[in-house]
Structure 1
Amino acid sequence: MAGNGGELRQRNTADKGNAKAVTTTDEGRKSDKLLDEHHGYEFGGPLGVTAMMIGFPILMYYLWICLWFYDGKLVTPSSVDDIVPFLQRMWTHVREDAYPNAYAWKVYTGLIIYQLFLAWVMPGYQQEGLPVPSLGYKTLMYNCNALWSVYATMLTAAALHYYHIFRLTEIINNYGHLMSVAMIYGFAVSFGVYFITVATGNQMRMSGSFIYDVFMGACLNPRIGPVDLKMWAEVRIPWVIVFFLAVSGGCHQYEQYGYVTPNMAFMILATWLYLNACGKGEECIPQTWDMYHEKWGFMVIFWNFAGVPFTYVYSVVYMASHHPDKYHFSTPTYVLLFTVLLTAYYIWDTSMSQKSRFKMQTQGITTFRKTFPQLPGGTLKNPKYIQTAHGNRLLISGWWQYSRKPNYVADWVMSFCWGVIIGKATAIPYFYSIFFITVLIHRCGRDFERCSVKYGKDWERYCEVVKYKFIPGIY
């Protein structure tokens, strides 16, 4: 296998219906071992991650206060003498309007418990993950039952709302309170998992800096019974909350005005597409770097428990607290926005499917799960790839022949649409797309550097074939 490094091949990876699984070479194991060790700090080291752990919650409170109480304007002190009174006003909003009250604890904790219960008992599709270098190339099995869990959650919420047991409208009205509880969960789970991991001796790739290791994580694949907590938290918590915040915003509009605006309907559709995609394609997640390499630390935990659900839907927060006249568009504009959203979603969905199913093919998996909606182009036939000396194959077919990260491009376009849907009313809903592109660029840097170490000259060959990092013909 090592002698075939850099060779460009085109063939049916199924080999007449019986896939030939790829194995890691001795050379590949050496590079994997190097990557599975701590080498220097990221994110500015201990000081940088400490600043993020403190600064991001403060930023979340500030942007929410500006949206809900100051008409979406980025308020600042009017003078040096106003700094202290300004900070006092901000603190008053947090203390009174974002206090972690009983309602927020009940709702958020109820969601956590219910999602864990569903993940434990619901039937699911059994998917084998990629070989994990940190576990001696052992493969883990995943019970992919997110789709059943999502629709069970939707039916449960609809019934509770209909019978006035739990009104969905109240979710958006308690946004600040729920956000505070989510932050507490994010910190508590991050530190709790770190201490449990160290106490049981299961830590890996440690730096020696306490706060940095809490941020990056100490464990790789924590599990409770059949539930892989990292995959569970990535799908069942953030996107469920995001979707129900949008639904709550729609219910709020309907009760207030008697109708739901196209803008809010856009966000309900957009968040459902994302949530449903995570459920219907859950078997693709074990094939990602997040699962087989990224540790479960504050960076991932806080973002899943609090960051994603309470920063990605600022447009919903604005619409729920402002009259529709402030963000009304013409019919052609709505048609354009919905068309761009659905087009970007198609590219994102199929590109993710192409890459993940290609990886499955290299494992010998040729029969794929059928869930709604299965979009044409999600599985490549006779894909082209570069065989590496490591043993892995680098896909250069489908969307992946035009860009090294076509899924990132489409994902970002969708995030930008989530801001555009309120037009020029306020800049705050564009935070998602601005923050997201920063994260994607940083993540690409980490990923490309890792691939350079892992594949060496084969990565150089790949970059010659797929020249563009993001947008074909531009960058």
Structure 2
Amino acid sequence: MAVELNGSTEGLRHRANATGKTNKIVITEQGREIDRRLDTHETYEFGGPLGCIAIMTFFPVLMYYLWICLWFYDGRLVYPTSQDDIKPFLWRMWDHIRTDASPNLYAWKVYTGNVVFQLFLAQVLPGYQQEGLPVPSLNYKTLMYNCNALNALYVTLVTAAGLHWTGIFRLTEIIDNYGHLMTVAMIYGFTVALVTYLYAVLTNTQIRTSGNFFYDYFMGACLNPRIGSVDLKMWGEVRIPWVIVFFLAVSGGCKQYEQYGYVTPNMAFMILATGLYLNACGKGEECIPQTWDMYHEKWGFLVIFWNLAGVPFSYVYSVVYMASHDPETYRFSTLTYIIMYSILLTAYYIWDTSMSQKSRFKMQCQGITEFRKTFPQLPGCVVKNPTYIETAHGNRLLTSGWWKYSRKPNYVADWTMSLMWGAIVGTASIIPYFYSVFFIAVLIHRCGRDFERCSRKYGKDWDRYCQVVKWKFIPYVY
């Protein structure tokens, strides 16, 4: 049943009963037919096989180049100044990689130790049991997720602190071995993607494949790979990248403290920012099974490499710069710090609560009305008596809370935080802004994919939704 608009959002209100509870969604036959089409390969994305090969080749090279510029060339973008300088320049770059980013024993022990430790914690720690969304490719079966990332985070923090203070594993060593760890992370990214692809092919569990090896390796062949009770896709999205990002920031702070006897407000900003993100992933882990990443996006190189290597070693260039430069090169006034911290916390609040509103609305549509309570539960994280459009597909499109102002309010807030992660070093180097520049390109492309899929999935109901929620990102701007 579709809800009539009547020219206002009031016409969108469709509630099940006098108690205010939302009816459980039922996928219609029309919706099932649409889902069958969406679960088949029809068109190439990312420029097809050649585009995917180019991305897999270019991005690791770019990661090495930006790190070398930050660590060895004062944060400047270096390049050949003449045709005769091209070969010596390339040899200098290679020498830095060969010498300062070799996959040494330390990097293998630390990175592998973290992967094994996080996988072990995910398997053994108790957690909140969350039901995921119905998966069309599994005949609308819902998978259960053991959400114990927050418990794992606490155990990881205590373990890391103990290892640091006893001298068994000094946290300052992490940032000093950035290049070595990055190379090991890349090797993991390529290898895990290949093993996952081969497993899907050999067990005949591949989905939406094109038949082209390079494209299917890049996009992925399986949807919900698991080891025991651990969903590898959710584990890889939450446990590995943000744990590394946070501890790189902590390592930078430890390094500053050992060198100068204090931690700069800039480095403290990054420790706070990455800590908020990591904690949010843990405290709101039960919301992740409700996302497109879990029930539709496949687990291939695109997601695997990005989580194992791309995120942790390209999001914190500001930390790399601060750990290798005198604090005087990026010091701000007290007022500037107040403004930057305020923007960060405001953007975090919008991001956290908008993500929570959308995910918990989807839970409400599954008949779930009791939600997990973890610290900190921010006001406004659940929309009471939500308004929505009910589609012919059977799903519902939320039109209240932050989601009445924009189709992607979480993206706007997320990108604002990414901008602040670069701005914390001011104009000292342009490289820390890579995260925000790259991220906006990713978000725009992802929105295009998402909006196109929604248009195919919901048809005229999506057009009606766009009439109500007019703005894609920023209200009254775009």
User: Is 1:473 matched up with 2:468?
Assistant: no
Task: Say which of 153, 171, 175 aligns to 1:172.
Answer: 175
Gaps of 5+ in 2: none
CA displacement at 1:9 relative to structure 2: 3.1
Corresponding residue number in structure 1 for 2:229: 226
Deviation at 1:20, TM superposition (A): 2.5
Q: Does the 8 A contact of 1:14 with 1:366 survive in 2?
A: no
Distance (Å, rounded) in 2 between the aligned partners of 1:153 and 1:285 = 21
Quote the residue 2:128 is aligned against: 125
- The amino acid of 1:293's aligned partner reads H
Is structure 2 residue 358 aligned with structure 1 residue 387? no
Measure how far apart 1:146 and its partner are. 0.4
List aligned pairs for 1:318-337, cutoff 5 A: 318-337=321-340
Q: Indicate yes or no: 2:359 matched with 1:353.
A: no
| 1:340 alignment partner in structure 2 | 343
Cα offset for 1:424? Answer: 0.1
Once residues 17 and 235 of structure 2 are traced to their aligned partners in structure 1, the CA distance between those partners, rounded to angstroms, is: 31
| Residues paired across the two proteins, number | 474
Aligned to 2:314: 311
Q: Show the 5 A alignment for 1:25-424.
A: 25-424=28-427
CA distance in 1, matches of 2:391, 2:60: 43
Please tell me whether the aligned partners of residues 22 and 364 of structure 2 are also in contact (alpha carbons under 8 angstroms): yes
Q: 1:327 deviation in Å?
A: 0.2
Conservation of the 8 A alpha-carbon contact between 1:13 and 1:383: no
In structure 2, the residue corresponding to 1:65 is in which secondary structure? helix
Tell me the amino acid that sits aligned with residue 397 of structure 1.
S
Task: Output the CA distance in 2 between the equivalents of 1:47 and 1:270.
Answer: 37
Equivalent residues of 1:132, 1:139 under 8 A apart: yes
CA distance in 1 between counterparts of 2:356 and 2:112 reads: 33
Aligned-pair identity (%):
74
Task: Say which SS state the counterpart of residue 126 (structure 1) adopts.
Answer: strand
Amino acid across the alignment from 1:382: N
Partners of 1:216 and 1:297 within 8 A in 2: yes
TM-score of the superposed pair, with normalisation by structure 2 = 0.98
One-letter identity of the residue aligned with 1:265: A
1:150-208 Cα offsets, whole Å, 9 max, x none, are: 11101100000010000000000000000000000000000011011101111111101
1:6 and 1:388 in contact (8 A); partners too: no
Deviations 1:219-258 (A, max 9, x none): 0000000000000000000000000000000000000000
Residue pair 2:186, 2:308 contacting (<8 A) in 1 also: yes
Return the offset for 1:6. 6.6
3-state secondary structure, aligned to 1:237:
helix
CA 292–94 in structure 1, closer or farther in 2 if over 3 Å, else same: same
CA contact (8 A) 2:15 2:23 kept: no
SS of the aligned residue for 1:370 comes to coil
Query: Does the 8 Å contact 1:72/1:427 carry over to 2?
Result: yes
Contact 1:11 1:382 in 2 (8 A): no
Task: Please tell me the root mean square deviation across aligned C-alpha atoms, in Å.
Answer: 1.1
Look up the SS of the partner of 2:389 in the other structure. strand
For residue 59 of structure 2, what is the amino acid of its counterpart? F
CA distance in 2, matches of 1:222, 1:446: 23
- Structure 2 counterpart SS, 1:471: coil
Contact persistence 2:15–2:21 (CA under 8 A)? no
Query: Displacement, 1:30?
Result: 1.2
Give the 3 Å change call, closer, same or farther, for CA 249–41 of structure 1 in structure 2. Answer: same
CA distance in 2, matches of 1:120, 1:52: 33
Counterpart AA for 1:189: V
Find the aligned partners of 2:92 and 2:438 in 1 and give their Cα distance.
26
Please tell me whether the aligned partners of residues 67 and 317 of structure 1 are also in contact (alpha carbons under 8 angstroms): yes
Residues 221 and 228 of structure 1 are in contact (CA less than 8 Å); yes or no, is this contact kept in structure 2? Answer: yes
Correspondence for 2:467: 464
Kindly indicate whether the alpha-carbon contact (under 8 Å) linking 2:3 and 2:12 is maintained by their aligned counterparts in 1.
no
Conserved? CA contact 2:28–2:394, under 8 Å: yes
* Matched-pair contact (CA < 8 Å) for 2:197–2:222: yes
